[in-house]
Amino acid sequence: MSNSARPHGPDHQDSSSPVVRVLVVEDDPAISHLVASYLEQAGFVVDVAKDGETAVDLAGSLRPDVIVLDLMLPGMDGIEVCRRVRTFSDAYIVMLTARTEEIDRLIGLSVGADDYLGKPFSPRELVARIRAMLRRPRAADPGAEPIRRFGALQIDPEAREVKLGDQPLELTRTEFDLLEVLSAHPRRAFPRRLLLEQVWDGDWFGDDHVVEVHVANLRRKLEDDPQAPRYIHTVRGVGYRMGTG
């Protein structure tokens, strides 16, 4: 595919919007062409990789904003690609899978994917999900947000940085957005569906189980024991709230 966007029709991005680069990782030429065509029509710059090794290389050199990643790839599979990409990139990752088992989707989310779609899927739905993810970062007024402290945990909303003690934590965009929402209202109990609206936007098509997976990922990185949490507490029958550390 071309490395320049080719908008067609009224559905493309506004010309004043920042250019968004999407890397499509798919070994089936028919699917990759279909997905890339829809994304280009929506105004995105699209690159395509046919295998995992190439995908990791392009993710490092092109620094895409979004990666559409097939789970079943020749050689290095999508899980390993996601794991490696997460060591240097916070790009949004949407995983495509032909498998129906929930465990495969959960594994994908646990290694850093932000969303998943089962095959066959609607390219229009894929575009809608990507747009919803791209709306999530919220620019704040300089100096408006102080650093939030919960015991040893420090959250800087302006810099989008998190530290545990003196150690910076590497969070995905989704993990940071989730932590940012919870920490903005300490001790408020957030129902899972409200977290979906706040973090995944109102265009989310899936169920609220995705919240539990990302909370589990956050707890692991925060060294937070779910049986005796310091930071993210489960409110039984409701959802989650931020503790005081």
The CATH number that applies at residue 82 is 3.40.50.2300
Of 109, 134, 159, at which residue does a domain stop? Answer: 134
Determine how many CB atoms are found less than 10 A away from the CB of residue 30.
Answer: 8
pLDDT digits (tens, 9 = 90+) for 42-76: 999 999 999 999 999 999 999 999 999 999 898 89
Of 134, 163, 197, at which residue does a domain stop? Answer: 134
Of 134, 169, 185, at which residue does a domain stop? Answer: 134
Note if the pTM is more than 0.75: no
User: How many angstroms separate the CA atoms of 77 and 35, rounded?
Assistant: 19
Residue 77 counted as domain residue: yes
Q: What is the residue range of 91's domain?
A: 21-134
Give yes or no: residues 120 and 172 share one domain: no
Q: Which of 128, 115, 111 is nearest to 221 (CA)?
A: 111
CATH code for the domain of 196: 1.10.10.10
Give yes or no: residues 166 and 210 share one domain: yes
**Total of domains in the chain:** 2
Residue 220 in tokens: 């692991």
Written as tens digits, the pLDDT of the chain (245 aa) is 543 333 333 344 544 457 899 999 999 999 999 999 999 999 999 999 999 999 999 999 999 999 999 998 988 999 999 989 988 888 999 988 876 556 666 676 778 888 888 888 889 999 998 988 887 654 444 445 688 999 899 999 888 899 999 899 999 888 999 999 999 888 789 998 888 888 876 555 556 678 888 999 999 999 988 888 899 999 988 999 998 76
Residue 143 counted as domain residue: no
Give yes or no: residues 181 and 114 share one domain: no
Residue 8 counted as domain residue: no
